[in-house]
Chain A
């Protein structure tokens, strides 16, 4: 148990309840003492109960002392005290169902067990005390059964509450760690922006003006500058607070930006199921590598992401020479239309459509439309 136990309010609840039920037990002894077989034993048991109440109150108020063994002893000692009842109460009192020496005080340990061990511990402790009640009553009747149900149920409920509280705290701790990691990433991004990026940008521009070998260095610096810039400007691909199993298509596509590929997108996250995001990024990557292969290394390309609510549109355009009319159809007839077929197939799997527009001198343009299955992932 760490220094900060989220079940602490439950422990304080058991302490308060134990003090109140002790007073109740003392009242019951006062009322019934004249009829007792052995009054001295009743007072002795009450004294032990008082001492135990003080002792457990001190221990349960400190997280470090909420020991498993102490809780177990708590349950057993309570049962022991309860079992003095047959020696205290007279036969007449049993006949009129006078309360046991411990009365409701005995209901507290199952609560402590629930707080310490969770639902299962609470139920077990509740059953132990319930059985012990039956033994002390010397019979099993409707009252004993009802007490048993109540004891077990209260142990169960406190146990569930304690477990839930601990889980929420663990979740919160995880969220805080993720936030810290994000803050660190932002700090790095800022410092990269303030130093490395500025120098790279300057080298690129000055080198370009100088020409010759310096221009080659400038080109290299420029490529690294763009790569670094898209790395530090891209948010983690899981939208914060979004439903699980979704990812942000926008930040995933932005990673495709290079010195020749420009990515345009809306300002906010475009949340889609993770698998859809992976497929669409793969499709865009395939189209872009096709651009490089057919339009040459000097061709530029643009990726546009649009979120229309009901559907998401990704457009990949290049300014290369384009494909002459008829050549595409010819290739299709000859059965080797690798990339176009692969892109169409992947998009069809997502329930979308892929259209290719091309003309000689006008470049090629893929328009990929994929419906949004559920609007729950939408974040306006």
Chain B
């Protein structure tokens, strides 16, 4: 089955280039969008399997678009493709529901592979993202007020550290003497716990601040 894709990026040279690369590799590029609002609107209409999301759309609106799309369309997966240098916004996007992250400097082969894996429901993790996620769990563990915060199991910590040190899933499986599938499951689970916690936090914030209608006060 052909995988349908939507490319969100505010820069036309990059957006059209990526769309063409994916088209040449047999993907069905259903749509492109240049900003967060268009991305949310078009995604609702075309329901792509994978959204390739740039985060550098005015401010942090790429994170907002990721949140809306993964919240509304459970079948659609968001793969962050960003030049933003593996910082806070990538972590925010992953917490908001993105299932993976790839740097823009990745090769076409890596991109094609990442889109396939994202469509199949596998997490796409760079070493950089693993470092961010590890850091986030440790930050939560050292924040005394947050006893609701998720914790990593010992095994999950081991797996994340190895990913952050650049080992592939297969190398990790060999080193820990577990199956390739188990490695992926551990990684998946670290993401799911973060995303779930993020949703709970957002809901708690909404209840405390009376934002019950889901309207974005900053205009959206």
In the complex, B116 has a CB within 8 A of chain A: no
| A267-B91, A365-B165 known; A197+B17 contact, CB < 8 A | no
Once the chains bind, are A202 and B17 in contact (CB under 8 Å)?
yes
Which of chain A's residues have a CB closer than 8 A to the CB of B135?
265-268, 306-307
Residues of B in contact, count (CB < 8 Å) = 35
Which of chain A's residues have a CB closer than 8 A to the CB of B86?
233, 264-265
A319, B127: Cα distance in complex, Å: 14
In the complex, B56 has a CB within 8 A of chain A: yes
A323, B21: Cα distance in complex, Å: 40
Interface size class of A (residues with CB under 8 A): 35 or more
Q: Which of B85, B138, B161 has the most CB of A within 10 A?
A: B85
Determine which of A198, A266, A304 lies in contact with B127 in the assembled complex, contact meaning CB atoms within 8 Å.
A304
In the complex, A317 has a CB within 8 A of chain B: yes
Smallest CB gap from B17: residue in A: A202
A264, B164: Cα distance in complex, Å: 6
Which of chain A's residues have a CB closer than 8 A to the CB of B42?
none
In the complex, B136 has a CB within 8 A of chain A: yes
Which of chain A's residues have a CB closer than 8 A to the CB of B10?
194
In the complex, B155 has a CB within 8 A of chain A: no
Which of chain B's residues have a CB closer than 8 A to the CB of A230?
85
Once the chains bind, are A225 and B105 in contact (CB under 8 Å)?
yes
Would you give the shortest CB distance from A309 to chain B, in whole angstroms? Answer: 5
| A197-B83, A309-B142 known; A205+B165 contact, CB < 8 A | no
Would you give the shortest CB distance from A356 to chain B, in whole angstroms? Answer: 14
Once the chains bind, are B166 and A319 in contact (CB under 8 Å)?
yes
Smallest CB gap from B91: residue in A: A267
Would you give the shortest CB distance from B212 to chain A, in whole angstroms? Answer: 30
Which of chain A's residues have a CB closer than 8 A to the CB of B105?
201, 204, 222, 225-226, 229, 259
Determine which of A199, A206, A233, A319 lies in contact with B87 in the assembled complex, contact meaning CB atoms within 8 Å.
A233
In the complex, A247 has a CB within 8 A of chain B: no
Once the chains bind, are B84 and A308 in contact (CB under 8 Å)?
no
Once the chains bind, are B131 and A304 in contact (CB under 8 Å)?
yes
In the complex, B186 has a CB within 8 A of chain A: no
In the complex, B107 has a CB within 8 A of chain A: yes
A307, B131: Cα distance in complex, Å: 10
A201, B135: Cα distance in complex, Å: 29
In the complex, A111 has a CB within 8 A of chain B: no
4 closest A-B pairs (Cβ-Cβ)? Answer: A266-B135, A264-B131, A233-B85, A302-B166
Give 19 CB contacts A-B under 8 Å. Answer: A201-B14, A230-B85, A263-B128, A264-B127, A265-B131, A265-B132, A265-B135, A266-B134, A266-B138, A267-B132, A268-B88, A268-B139, A300-B166, A302-B165, A307-B138, A315-B165, A317-B166, A319-B166, A380-B143
